[in-house]
Amino acid sequence: MGLSPANTATETLKFCIFDLRRGQHEGEELDKILFFYPADMPFSAQLSVIGLSEGLITFTRIFSPEAACEVIEAEMHSHVFYEAEPDIWMVLIVEKSKETDAIWRIDALRGILKEVHSLFMMFHGSIRALLDKEPSGGIVRKHLYSFVMDYLDDFLIGKKIQLPNFRNTLKERGTVQMLTVSREAAMEVQSLVRLLESCLGSASCHSLILFQDLLVSTTLSPDDTVNLYTYALLRLSPAFSSGSSTWSYLRKGKATSHTTGAVSMLANAGSGLDQSHGSRDSHPTGDSNHDITRPLQPNKWARGKDGFLVTDIRGSYVNNMVHTTPAIWLQQTEEKMYILAYQHKSLTVILLIPLMFIMDGEQGISMVKQQVLENASAKIFKVEEKLSKGWAGENAYHVSGYRYLLVDGDRSTSRASPPGKVTTLTKESLVAASRLREEVDLEKGRTKWDNPDLEKELEICIRAKNNAWVIARVTRGKELYMVLEKANETLLYASDAVEKFSNKYCNGAFSLE
């Protein structure tokens, strides 16, 4: 990465991945570094950062052997830790600032580390398995470098990485947002799922269906659903969107317009970090990076003439039809699956097929596509039409007078006020909501370690500086966060407003009675 010394000196974020089992002998310390951003920091400075992180991990284990270190707050920096795999640590170091935009939740930052690791495992398998396969670590470093840099590219604003802050407080990473459908539409969707299963001819095949950026149906486990749904929002949605999708809520959108079949631009598209930090062909290890699969590289998926998405994540030229079908690992079964995505208007159908089921490689994939087109395309068209008729638009889940976030941790689902409505909140309200969520995170953390079997029941109400009410209720694995800017002066009025919301939209889950 070709950062200038000036850029490195003013870099407000450091991100490293290291293996505590490596580099334990004098002169081999660099061996423990698997990824470091910014990559052009002197090795002595990288080792200093990792040495400090390793020391903090070791020190905190003295007092809490069973609980991994999660965060260390220093005067000038926040050090956020995540033990992604045994002895493989991911550490994010962010500089504190007097700027209001620098207010963040630690759990939201840890969510970034969890998400990038989950997505990496989906495409490449575990880091430890790659290290066991190739002990020198060269391959895993190449994969991590390209993957994480492409991931960070989505947070790039200008030449600065902007991490989630208080403005994202009414969003929840690591969850899916479901589309509410009528009984009749649900029956049509189930009929489509069964038809797809018959087309694929194997009980080991899976499907995931989205309308716009909302989940309609899945046959995957909750964890695999979250991973594939997240990837679909990050990289598959722009293939049918002519602009930033209003429901791509995980982070800022980078969708670009395209015309079906005109996909030559894919071969030459580069990421923002490529352009601002230099070519990525010059890898920190000194090796060529051309043969590395880059599933998170922007603008590498497009819709072909038959409706199936084609990709250039291996660097081949899609318009010359030399692409290969990508594959992912399922977390629950540890199976490797081909991923096929078909799009019709606002409907995306993702099919997962075991590699062992396809005997003839790309020729076998073409036969599967033909089966789907011949037997399921009419049903796909019908389902898309029915869902479109019942779709109320981007503000479908807006509730007048409320700005809210509803999280079901047991099902890994969430629902929130539309982003456009959240932007109407004042800065004071959003900052207060962020601090409220931070307090809830701390209480949940204490309960987790003090009594893991106890489900926390919690209610917190805060009156913000602008007189808005900010409320949190946690009960039976569900969480509700709400901002009421136009509520009455009394707490009783605000509490009554929450009760009405709970009874009408949450089946009374958060009612105090």
- Do 149 and 201 have their domain in common? no
d(CA 186, CA 98): 50
Q: Is 245 exposed, middle or buried (0-12, 13-18, 19+ CB in 10 A)?
A: middle
Neighbours of 393 (CB within 10 A): 9
How many Cα atoms within 13 Å fall on the side-chain side of residue 191? 15
Cite the DSSP H helix spans in 242-293.
Answer: 272-277
**Residue 455 carries which DSSP code?**
P
Three-state SS annotation for 393-451: CCCCCCCCCCEEEEEECCCCEEEECCHHHHCCCCHHHHHHHHHHHHHHHHHHHHHHHHC
- Do 118 and 192 have their domain in common? no
Q: Would residue 351 count as lying in a domain?
A: yes
- Do 14 and 145 have their domain in common? yes
- Do 36 and 145 have their domain in common? yes
- Do 219 and 137 have their domain in common? no
Residue type, 79: H
Q: Would residue 78 count as lying in a domain?
A: yes
Domain boundary among 337, 360, 390: 390
Domain boundary among 166, 195, 211: 166
Domain boundary among 390, 418, 451: 390
Joined together, the tokens standing for residue 6 give 């000036």
d(CA 225, CA 237): 16
Joined together, the tokens standing for residue 47 give 């080792």
**Would you give the distance in Å from CA 442 to the centre of its chain?**
22
Q: Would residue 281 count as lying in a domain?
A: no
Q: Would residue 34 count as lying in a domain?
A: yes
Q: Which among 10, 164, 163, 166 has a CA at the least distance from the CA of 100?
A: 166
- Do 232 and 310 have their domain in common? yes
- Do 145 and 84 have their domain in common? yes
- Do 216 and 365 have their domain in common? yes
Joined together, the tokens standing for residue 327 give 């594959």
d(CA 423, CA 250): 15
Residue type, 136: S
Structural domain range at position 365: 183-262+300-390
Helix (H) or strand (E) holding 343: strand 336-344
* Degrees, nearest 5: CA angle 471-474-475: 140
Q: Which among 133, 115, 155, 113 has a CA at the least distance from the CA of 18?
A: 113
pLDDT in tens, the chain (513 residues): 333 333 443 468 999 999 999 998 888 889 999 999 999 999 999 999 999 999 999 998 888 888 888 999 988 899 999 999 999 999 999 988 776 566 889 999 999 999 999 999 999 999 999 999 999 999 999 999 999 999 999 998 888 888 889 999 999 999 999 999 999 999 999 999 999 999 887 768 999 999 999 999 999 999 999 999 999 999 997 544 433 333 333 443 443 333 333 333 333 334 556 554 444 444 555 544 446 889 998 888 889 999 999 987 765 444 444 568 899 999 999 999 999 999 999 999 999 999 988 888 888 899 999 999 999 999 999 999 999 999 999 999 999 999 999 999 999 999 999 999 999 999 999 999 999 999 999 988 887 766 666 677 899 999 998 999 999 999 988 999 999 997 667 888 888 999 999 999 999 999 876
- Do 96 and 226 have their domain in common? no
Q: Would residue 382 count as lying in a domain?
A: yes
- Do 139 and 221 have their domain in common? no
Phi, psi at residue 433, to the nearest 5°? Answer: -65, -40
Answer for the pair 431, 103: CB distance below 8 angstroms, yes or no.
yes
Longest dimension (CA), the chain: 69
Q: Would residue 53 count as lying in a domain?
A: yes
Q: Can you tell me which residue has the tokens 């969890």?
A: 114
- Do 250 and 352 have their domain in common? yes
Residue type, 498: V
Q: Would residue 283 count as lying in a domain?
A: no
Residues facing residue 388 across a β-bridge: none
What CATH number should be reported for the domain holding residue 133? 3.30.450
Query: What torsion do the CA atoms of 13, 255, 105, 163 make, to the nearest 10 degrees?
Result: 10
**Would you give the distance in Å from CA 102 to the centre of its chain?**
21
- Do 35 and 94 have their domain in common? yes
Q: How many domains does the chain have?
A: 3
Q: Would residue 491 count as lying in a domain?
A: yes
